[in-house]
Chains A and B, each alone.
Chain A
Amino acid sequence: MSIVTKALKYICVGIFLLWILVPVAWMVCLAFKSYPEWRVAYFFPKDPTLSNFIILFEPKRIIGMMGATAIVDPVTLPLINSLIVVGISTVIAVFIGFFTAYGASRYNSPGPFSLFFTLLTRMLPPATFVTPIMVYYSNLKLLDTHLGLILLYAAVTVTYGIWILKGFIDNIPREWEEAALLEGATHSQVIFRVTLPLIKSGLVVSGLFIFLLNWAELLFALVLTNVNAVTLPVHISKYVGAVGQLYGPQAALGIISSLVPLIVGYMIQKHLVTAFTFGMVR
């Protein structure tokens, strides 16, 4: 390869990396700037401060800063809610996904309807089925509860559990399970003692991926929660709407809510393609 094409290649990749990095770099720098620096034309804060982060955790109060006033809730409750709802729904989705995937991999067991339906719920816009769920939940008194969100999140992401884990289970030789059966183990013992331990890494990958998706989910939470079960994305959307000009704390909020997904995401970096494509691409 000639030097010119090589240089051109580096320049193209470099430009792309800048395009990926700059918007986030701006947010990160903004989060550490104090009020007078929010509208300045340079990246790095002259006088870095943590006050933007501290403001987010202070009890409910009216923030008034140079023309922008708003009643702001602390981020603590949404943060805890997100951890509870997303954590529990992920565990449910992974285990139900595992059992279903086992049946699908070994026996073609849950009929094509269930499998098609789970794929469908993931591919359809959430806005097209959130309306009846809201009516249904309000009749069942599940609105604004953790339980309601947990069940829904588990149901719409279980499909990733099924398809990712099916790939892992397909790779385990059937002979190993048959050997355990010959030794006198029951079928359920085979599932829990042989197959489950063998696909530990699959459980972790699908779990972390489902965690990532549910952590980011906005629309369901926006419609189905109000005060008690508000999650982090809903809190962000309210924060931007209510306090349009508080750039510093908004940026800090962005950082707080992307730390967990970034850690989780890099843990499953190698499996992202497989996960995003329901195992169609490896």
Chain B
Amino acid sequence: MSTRPPKSVSLLANLPINILLYVTLIVPFILMIYLAFLAWNPAGGYEWWQAPIAGLNNFIRAFSDARFIAALGRTVLFTMAVVGVEFLLGLVLAYLLLGEFRGKRAALSVIIYPLMLPWVVVALIFYLFFQDYGPVNNLFLKGIIGEAATNIHWFLSPTTAFITLLIADIWQWTPFMFLILYSGLSAVSKRLIEAAQVLGASNRTIFWRIQLPLIRPLILVALVLRALEAFKVFDIAYVMTGGGPGTSTETLSLYIYRVAIEYHDISYAAALSLIILIILVAVIRVFIWYSFERR
């Protein structure tokens, strides 16, 4: 086959995708860059093309906005915490499930179902779970610390509210780490492991010296994809805590959403988005180069 596509193929392959992308995403992206340099608030009663140019004011404001910096820091902390815990749990679990044993298929299909639930439903599940009279207080903690357990208000203190978010995310996404690591570990050739066993290597040596190094590229893929996904965190914060108490569990996505939708400060929201976009695009570009284009 020739390397230059015939007209019909190139039309089919290029036209629909480009129309879809330009109509729904690229035009708004360009609009965003313009909006970020305006001083526009729809409550002012005029359209964006009539708004005065603000220059770099929105960006300068962002860097002295304590709430923005706090939300950014909190989101980074959230991402590192959940990715770390999920990776460790997923790795342990993948290693445990590696051999054959009775009920393995059933265990596998139980482990992966949280992945299929909508994020909002996960938020709802843990919202119900951590109520004052929910099972955490009323069943589990009551057994340990007695009647005082129902006085713990998970969503009313900044630390515990943040912990509920971490738990919800870890609950849903540990299976994701598990799946990737498990498929990697089970693809490691059995012969290699047998050969090492014959030479007298212990299980621990085999794990650290053979299995882990062989799945290193996979670990990178899993960590980066999960980190990008965790950085988006919006649904659980919006539904479970609403960013509260106060703004103490407000994530970056939630803050931008609020600036745009609740405070109608569209051009400031656009500037905040642009700052985050530039950072993330650089990260993603390096990652894509590393995993798709390097060889």
> Which positions in A face B, CB cutoff 8 Å?
1, 9-10, 12-13, 16-17, 19-24, 26-27, 30, 38-43, 92, 95-96, 99-100, 102-104, 106-110, 114, 116-121, 123-136, 139, 151-152, 154-156, 158, 162, 174, 177-178, 186-188, 191, 212, 215-216, 218-219, 222-223, 232-233, 236-237, 240-241, 247, 250-251, 253-254, 257-258, 261-262, 264-266, 269, 272-273, 276-277, 280-282
Closest approach, in angstroms, between the C-beta of A239 and any C-beta of chain B? 9
Flag if B269 contacts A131 (CB, 8 Å). yes
Closest approach, in angstroms, between the C-beta of A172 and any C-beta of chain B? 13
Flag if A262 contacts B24 (CB, 8 Å). no
Pick from A119, A233, A254: contact of B288, CB under 8 Å: A119
Interface residues of B in 24-38 (CB under 8 A from A): 24-29, 31-32, 35
Interface of A is mostly: helix
Given A106-B1, A218-B238, CB of A128 within 8 Å of CB of B176 = no
8 cross-chain pairs, A with B, having the tightest CB-CB distances, nearest first: A103-B13, A265-B116, A216-B118, A127-B253, A39-B133, A132-B32, A107-B5, A125-B232
Closest approach, in angstroms, between the C-beta of B233 and any C-beta of chain A? 8
Please give, as numbers and ranges, the residues of chain B lying within 8 Å of A134 by CB-CB distance: 260-261
Bound CA–CA A177/B179 (angstroms): 35
Bound CA–CA A131/B280 (angstroms): 17
Q: A22-B135, A96-B17 are in contact. List 9 more A-B contacts (CB 8 A).
A: A23-B129, A41-B135, A92-B20, A110-B18, A117-B21, A120-B281, A139-B47, A155-B20, A247-B131
Please give, as numbers and ranges, the residues of chain B lying within 8 Å of A109 by CB-CB distance: 5, 9-10, 13-14
Interface residues of B in 1-59 (CB under 8 A from A): 1, 3-6, 8-10, 12-14, 16-18, 20-21, 23-29, 31-32, 35, 47-48
Given A107-B10, A109-B13, A110-B13, CB of A126 within 8 Å of CB of B135 = no
**Chain A residue nearest to B92 in the complex (CB):** A12
Given A132-B35, A134-B260, A151-B24, CB of A110 within 8 Å of CB of B17 = yes
> Which positions in B face A, CB cutoff 8 Å?
1, 3-6, 8-10, 12-14, 16-18, 20-21, 23-29, 31-32, 35, 47-48, 89, 92-93, 96-97, 99, 101, 107, 109-121, 123-129, 131, 133-135, 138-139, 142, 171, 175-176, 179-180, 183-184, 218, 221-222, 225, 228, 231-232, 234-235, 238-239, 242, 252-254, 256-257, 260-261, 266, 269-270, 273, 276-277, 280-281, 284-285, 288, 291-292
Please give, as numbers and ranges, the residues of chain A lying within 8 Å of B96 by CB-CB distance: 9, 12-13
Please give, as numbers and ranges, the residues of chain A lying within 8 Å of B109 by CB-CB distance: 266, 269
Pick from B17, B48, B221, B232: contact of A158, CB under 8 Å: B17
27 contacts between A and B (CB under 8 A): A9-B101, A12-B92, A30-B128, A92-B20, A102-B12, A103-B10, A106-B5, A107-B13, A109-B10, A117-B25, A118-B17, A121-B25, A133-B25, A136-B27, A151-B20, A216-B120, A232-B118, A240-B123, A250-B124, A250-B128, A254-B124, A254-B125, A261-B117, A272-B115, A273-B183, A276-B225, A281-B221
Bound CA–CA A151/B22 (angstroms): 11
Flag if B32 contacts A129 (CB, 8 Å). yes
Flag if A27 contacts B125 (CB, 8 Å). yes
Closest approach, in angstroms, between the C-beta of A216 and any C-beta of chain B? 3
Please give, as numbers and ranges, the residues of chain A lying within 8 Å of B110 by CB-CB distance: 17, 20-21
Closest approach, in angstroms, between the C-beta of A253 and any C-beta of chain B? 7
Pick from A106, A114, A129: contact of B273, CB under 8 Å: A129
Please give, as numbers and ranges, the residues of chain B lying within 8 Å of A20 by CB-CB distance: 110-111, 113-114, 171, 175
Flag if A41 contacts B142 (CB, 8 Å). yes
Bound CA–CA A127/B232 (angstroms): 8
Given A107-B13, A114-B18, CB of A251 within 8 Å of CB of B128 = yes
Bound CA–CA A20/B122 (angstroms): 11
Flag if B288 contacts A114 (CB, 8 Å). no
Flag if B14 contacts A135 (CB, 8 Å). no
Flag if B288 contacts A116 (CB, 8 Å). yes
**Chain A residue nearest to B10 in the complex (CB):** A109
Flag if A129 contacts B9 (CB, 8 Å). no
Given A17-B110, A30-B128, A125-B234, CB of A241 within 8 Å of CB of B242 = yes
Flag if B25 contacts A129 (CB, 8 Å). yes
Bound CA–CA A83/B8 (angstroms): 33
